[in-house]
Amino acid sequence: MTRSRLATRIVLAIALTAVAAVAARSDDEVGISADGILFGQAAALEGPSSALGQRMRQGIVAAFTEINAKGGVHGRKLRLISRDDGYDPDRSVAQTLRLIDHDKVFALIGAVGTPTAMATIPITSAHNVPFIGPFTGAEFLRDPELSNVVNIRASYSAEAEAWIKHLTEDRRYTRIGIFYQDDSFGRDGLAGVKRALAKRGLELAAEGTFERNTRAVASAWRMLRRVEPEAIVMVGTYGPCAEFIKLARRSGLHPTFVNISFVGANALAQELGPDGDGVVVSQVVPFPWDASIRLVADYQAAQKAFDPTLTPDFVSLEGYLAARLAAAALEKAGPNPTRAGLLRLINEVGRFDISGTLVTTGTRMIDTPPKVFMTVIQKDGTFRAVDRL
């Protein structure tokens, strides 16, 4: 090879490297303008699980509105684009790609669901797009290799451990069944329950399943009623879980029902009406009616300022908390944030004080795991927080 050809190749290689670096840098800074930072949400906004996505969105927008009223973050206003995925993995892939490639969002926030997250995480990881505050406690999202995922809630395993601890210690139950959604979400909950029971030398008395986005639960009830369970733990969304509880109530059996936080507690209570009395729901955010907690007081004020018709809700509080965490991290990142820089900062700091409530992320969650507590639906559809069942 002649010197001139060698020199040309070296120059070309340097040029291509520079272009790649510029492309990577611009991709890392996408979604940021002189006056704004754009976030995207792919979630169920319509259909049978729509209350979950809508309430996550309400919480996020309430927080962004509160922050923007104070001048934003380093002078930039926080904005959100929400797109409906119907709690369907294929639709979630399409909407996530649209948010990243067409809408050019800086980060994703408030995604809803385990099966949808399983489908979209490879996309967000490939683009190194921050995936902040997903509304799911799936174990796979806690893999250290998924450095772009920012979890703020307890895992489903932690919720399952809390259920079984209370049912076996407070009520001395040994005959426990499970009703779960037959997909990655339900099976994640199933695995957690089996582990918690095995620690106590117990096994599930029976299992009943249903298909996602349906209310066809009769066959599941037939499977479970055979063993006359003392308790049934439930891993599903509010619609099918409410249908199952009503069916069981009509049969004359009255097991203790314990629901996962993902169910959408307020929507479940509304669906159940009088049948909700005594139904237990585990929670992973502070009690949204306890204004003595400064975070809750700030949340209530922000929600009222955004939309006075809204009432406190566990799901919207989780959305609010995710948005406040994102803003706190951006504040620490300085006036020139990048995706990679933001994720590095979140993982390195690991602890954020959000209105007096400590939120841990990444490896810090191991030392200071998020709390799980129990609530019980009352006759009038309200909730009572309990230390024991």
Question: Given this model, what pLDDT does residue 362 score?
Answer: 87
- How many Å apart are CA 328 and CA 373, to the nearest integer? 26
pLDDT at 11: 31
Q: Does pLDDT of 138 surpass 70?
A: yes
Structure tokens at 87: 């709690």
Whether pLDDT at 13 is above 60 = no
- Which pLDDT belongs to residue 245? 98
Angle at CA 288, nearest 5°, toward 287 and 291?
Answer: 95
Whether residue 9 is predicted with pLDDT greater than 70 in this model: the reply is no
**6 has a pLDDT exceeding 50:** no
* Band of residue 27 on the pLDDT scale cut at 50, 70, 90: low
Confidence of residue 166 (pLDDT cuts 50, 70, 90): very high
Instruction: Tell me the Cα Rg of the chain.
Output: 23
Question: What's the mean per-residue pLDDT of the chain?
Answer: 92
pLDDT score recorded for residue 21: 39
Mean pLDDT across 339-365:
94
Are the C-beta atoms of 204 and 193 separated by less than 8 Å? Answer: yes
Q: What's the mean pLDDT in 48-64? A: 98
The predicted model gives 86-107 an average pLDDT of: 98
CA triple 321-323-324, angle to 5 deg: 65
Strands 256-259 and 231-235: parallel
In the DSSP assignment, the letter for residue 151 is -
Window from 7-21, 169-183, 333-347, 363-377 with minimum mean pLDDT: 7-21
Mean pLDDT of 295-322: 97
Helix (H) or strand (E) holding 319: helix 314-333
pLDDT score for 28: 75
Could you tell me what percent of the chain has a pLDDT over 90?
A: 90
Structure-token pair, residue 4 = 């001139």
Q: What is the pLDDT of residues 195-236, one digit of tens each?
A: 999 999 999 999 999 999 999 999 999 999 999 999 999 999
Residue 212 token pair: 């996602």
Which tokens go with 318? 């989780």
User: What confidence score (pLDDT) does residue 17 get?
Assistant: 34
Residue 4 pLDDT more than 90? no
Q: How confident is the model at residue 29, as a pLDDT?
A: 79
- State pLDDT tens for residues 242-270: 999 999 999 988 999 999 999 999 999 99
pLDDT of residue 177: 98
Residue 290, CB half-sphere, CA atoms under 13 Å: how many?
A: 10
At residue 338, does pLDDT exceed 80?
yes
Give the number of other Cβ atoms within 10 Å of residue 253's Cβ. 13
For residue 25, pLDDT over 70 is answered with: no
Is 20 a residue whose pLDDT tops 80? no
Token output for 9: 């190749």
| CA–CA distance, 4 with 184 (Å, rounded to integer) | 59
Backbone CA torsion sign across 286, 291, 292, 297: positive
pTM of the model: 0.92
Please tell me the distance from the alpha carbon of residue 21 to that of residue 24, in angstroms, as a whole number: 5
